[in-house]
Structure 1
Amino acid sequence: MSMLLKKQKGKCTYCGHYFREEDVLEIDHIIPQIKGGKDEYKNLQILHRHCHDNKTAEDGSVGGLHDKHQIIEEPDELKISRPF
């Protein structure tokens, strides 16, 4: 998880906002598995739960082989500072 967070510089690739400590995060397949996407690192990204739901609805993978991986807490080694 922390590798993806670092790769994305602490931002959701769907909405572009920084992740906050209280956000519920999920791992998403960039190319959905139902559309031939592989279950490998280069096809994964972290999204806010609501962004993941929106992307899934848009890309047509709802009801398919969609598997939600939820991140419960932010890894200690990566703390993102955000203005309030």
Structure 2
Amino acid sequence: MSITTAMLPADGRDNSRLVDITPDRVFKRTEKGFRFSLIFKRRLWEASFKRCAYCGDEIKGHGASHVDHVLPRSEGGSESIDNLACACAFCNSSKGAGSLADLRFKVALYKSPVGGIVTPSQALALIEAGTILPIDYVRPFYFECVAREGGGYVR
């Protein structure tokens, strides 16, 4: 699997907030293994302008943010900071181990007038049957908008 976008979430954030984060500060050892440290989550959240890299929704606090592997570990993705993105709970759980293209469709569906009425699998079945749904398939991710604007908060 390959990422089908020319830009990545790292292109749409203030990476200067992450330059002093070393690998030993990204993870914290717990009884159950490793998790992302709160220091790293806070810095990633701030670097991402306190917004989800994908849908652009405001994330109310770094504790509510999720860290997503852009290229999933199951597909060979690394723990590199460039492969990590700040995401809201919806986008992180919707993407799972899927691709950015799959998530783009799910976010476009969620943000459309039929979002919450039909599921992604129902929408795909309707589209395959020839139904035209009011979905903006080319809706850019938030990180793409930020990168195109040259950084900084975009809305």
Aligned amino acid, residue 59 of structure 2: F
Q: Which runs of 4+ in 1 moved over 3 A?
A: none
- Aligned with 1:27: secondary structure? strand
Q: For residue 17 of structure 1, what is the aligned residue in structure 2?
A: 57
Query: Relative to total residues, which structure has the larger helix share, 1 or 2?
Result: 2
Q: Alignment identity in percent?
A: 26
1:52/1:16 Cα in 2 relative to 1: closer, same or farther (>3 Å)?
same
Shift, 1:8, TM fit: 0.7
Number of equivalences? 58
Q: Give 2:74's match in structure 1, choosing from 34, 44, 49.
A: 34
Write the mapping of 1:39-78 to structure 2, written as runs, cut at 5 A: 39-56=79-96, 58-59=98-99
Q: Which runs of 5+ in 1 are unaligned?
A: 60-84
Q: Which of structures 1 and 2 has the larger relative contact order (alpha carbons within 8 angstroms, sep 6+)?
A: 1
Structure with higher strand content: 1
Q: TM-score, normalised by structure 2?
A: 0.34
Query: Which position in structure 2 is the counterpart of 1:76?
Result: none
Larger Cα Rg: Structure 1 or Structure 2?
Answer: 2
Shift of 1:57: 6.0
